Structure formats: structure tokens, C-alpha cells
Amino acid sequence: MSYDNDNIFAKILRGEIPCEKLFEDDDTFVFMDIMPRADGHCLVIPKTPCRNMLDASPEQLTACLLTVQKMGHAVMAAFDAEGVTVQQFNETAGGQEVFHLHYHVLPRHADLKLRPPGTMADFGVLKEQADKIRAALA
Ligand code: AMP
């Protein structure tokens, strides 16, 4: 399977479609998931192309996981969470829908289940939540 330059996350990286950006460094980019399964649900992606974990380089995997850890701390602080769930899907059979490597980072509370997938966020609420995470990162 080859990388599709027109996948939606490639377009976000090129600035062709908007996103609620939280963080970037030389190698990774982080933004809010528009169909959040928990308040503060965000996505960590490499800036360079790869479909998923299966074709990613050691450098892409390392950079993403370091940013995942950073974002785990930030979302836990922002939402006073007790834990964090990290999800990553590979190919259609593995549950992947967007074919640019990404890690879901979800702050968790012991008594709160993840919401079902597929409900679009209110963009005002998403921005408020992003502001909290950006403040935790500052
Ligand atoms: P998956 O490939 O199964 O990990 O799912 C892709 C994820 O990307 C889902 O959680 C979607 O809600 C999210 N998503 C899709 N399009 C966008 C977008 N334009 N901005 C932010 N998140 C998105």
C-alpha cells in the first residue's frame, strides 16, 4: 500500500484545511480530533509521510512517541485526568480510516467511558478545550 498525498492529515500539514493546532516540533504535529471520544482527545502525527506504524521509520516512530508522552502529560493536566489512553490503528482491517500515521491521545477518568466514535464536535467547545491544553503545554 502506498502513501496518498491527498489524505486529510497531509492536507492539514500543508495548511490546506483548518485544524485546532496544539503543538508542533521539527518532526511532529498535534491537533484536536474533530470527533472526540473524550474531552481533550487529540492526534499526534509525523510531519513526514507514512501510512501507519507498518511503514514508519524508526525516527518517525520515536519522534511520535516522544510527542505522545508530552501530550499525555498535557491533556492529563488540562482535564485533571487520572490516566491516558493511547490508540493507534493500522490499515482498514486494523480500524484505520485516515492513512497518515497518527496516535490518539485521550485523557481518562476512572468513572467515564469513551464516547462512541463518529459525533462531530462543537467547534467553540473544541477551541475552549484546545486552549486548556495549550495552557498546560506553556
Ligand atoms: P482512525 O484512522 O481510525 O484512527 O480515525 C481517524 C481519526 O481522525 C478519527 O478519530 C477522526 O475523528 C479524526 N479526523 C478525521 N478528520 C479529521 C480532521 N479534519 N481533523 C481532525 N480530526 C479528524
Query: Locate cell 513526514: which residue?
Result: 48
Expressed in angstroms and rounded, the spacing between residue 117 Cα and the centre of ligand 1 is: 10
- Kindly give the number of the ligand 1 atom that is closest to the alpha carbon of 118: 12
Please state which CATH number belongs to domain 8-137.
Answer: 3.30.428.10
Stated pTM of the model? 0.98
Ligand 1 mean position, distance from CA 71 (Å): 17
Nearest to 73 by CA among 64, 86, 63, 84: 84
Contact 20 CB / ligand 1 (< 6 Å): no
Question: Cell numbers of 92, please?
Answer: 482498514
Q: Which residues contact 103 (CB under 8 A, 6 or more apart)?
A: 43, 44, 45, 64, 65, 68, 86, 87, 88
Give, for all 138 residues of the chain, the pLDDT tens digit.
899 999 999 999 999 999 999 999 999 999 999 999 999 999 999 999 999 999 999 999 999 999 999 999 999 999 999 999 999 999 999 999 999 999 999 999 999 999 999 999 999 999 999 999 999 999
